[in-house]
Amino acid sequence: MIPLQLLDVPAKIISQMGEIMNISYPKQGYTSHVTFVESTKGRYVIKHSKGKQFREWLTKETFVLKCLENVDLPVPQVYDFVLENETDQAWLLMEYIEGQTLRSFLLRETCEVKRHKAIYHFGQMMRKIHLAKCPEELKGDHTWIDSMLMQAEYNLHRYKVDGTKELLDDLERNRPDHVDQTLIHGDLTVDNVLVKDGKINAIIDWSGGAFGDPRYDAALAIRPKPNAFQAREEVDIFFKGYGKQAVNRKEFLYFEEGLYEFF
């Protein structure tokens, strides 16, 4: 029998999972509702989004994950995707990957050696993303920064964002110096990285995946969070794992306190 909480999920998604034995929920993000399903066939994740903006992001995430299928990165496999235009909803059925978010790991872990190991590995993982061969389908017609500024303006006029018109004008006028574009995650915060046995086991939430500016990932990765990246030492260890200091103070401010305010 389908649990009451899954009655709204399209039958096409439900039919793929076998007999459902248990459902549970992780701490939710901001753009979707995620359900973990345990069934006779294994464990699954259903990610559900409502409304134009979040539905589009989930559509984009599914596209990016499919593009990454043959890239050697620990990302969930897509099993199915259903878009319902009439009700403005979308569902992504994907592989469950074990682990807790790096944010919750760092919040609780008191052993410095274990903390440093996970942070170093996070840096190594970002390097792996930036060195991966970027799938051609992710290379757009505009440079990434142009697309992002256009999208920022669109979001400013249509959605509730933290950024202002003045900030956007400032970002337009003071673009960071050119660097080579790479595959980027596009929202590489400690919330979107899963840790298992002290190492990064998965990178999730790929709606921002693109051929873009690697400094954006670096800036979001080291955003200070409760008990995470508060100490300069942790930032240094992250960049040691990455192989170099990927973003300077000015660039960090441009991306983290600037561009990110529109997303």
Residues in contact with ligand ADP by CB under 6 A are: 26, 29-32, 34, 45, 47, 76, 94-97, 101, 191-192, 204-205
Of residues 62 and 182, the one with the C-beta less far from ligand ADP:
62
| Contact partner at residue 213 from ligand ADP, Mg ion, none, CB < 5 to 8 Å by partner kind | none
Cα dist from 134 to 19, 177, 180, 204, 241, whole Å: 38, 22, 12, 17, 21
Q: Is 44 helix (H, G, I), strand (E, B) or coil?
A: strand
How would you list the strands of the sheet with 100-101, edge to edge?
100-101, 193-196, 199-203
One-letter-per-residue 3-state SS of 71-91: CCCCCCCEEEEEEECCCCEEE
Residue 89 or 207 with smaller CB distance to Mg ion: 207
- Residue 71 binds: one of Mg ion, ligand ADP, none (C-beta under 5 to 8 A by kind): none
Site string for Mg ion, 7-46 (x = CB under 5 A): ----------------------x-----------------
Alpha-carbon gap, residue 240 to 159, rounded angstroms: 38
Closer to ligand ADP by CB, 32 or 182: give it. Answer: 32
Shortest spacing between CB 90 and Mg ion, in angstroms: 16
Distance CA 51, CA 146 (A): 25
Gap between the Cα atoms of 94 and 92, Å rounded: 6
Decide: is 261 part of the binding site for Mg ion (CB under 5 A).
no
Q: Which is nearer to ligand ADP, 56 or 236 (CB)?
A: 56
Q: If we measure between CA atoms, which residue out of 170, 185, 164 comes closest to residue 246?
A: 185
Q: Which is nearer to Mg ion, 171 or 259 (CB)?
A: 259
Is residue 192 a contact point for Mg ion (CB under 5 A)?
A: yes
Neighbours of 86 (CB within 10 A): 5
**Site residues (vs Mg ion, CB under 5 A):** 29, 191-192, 205
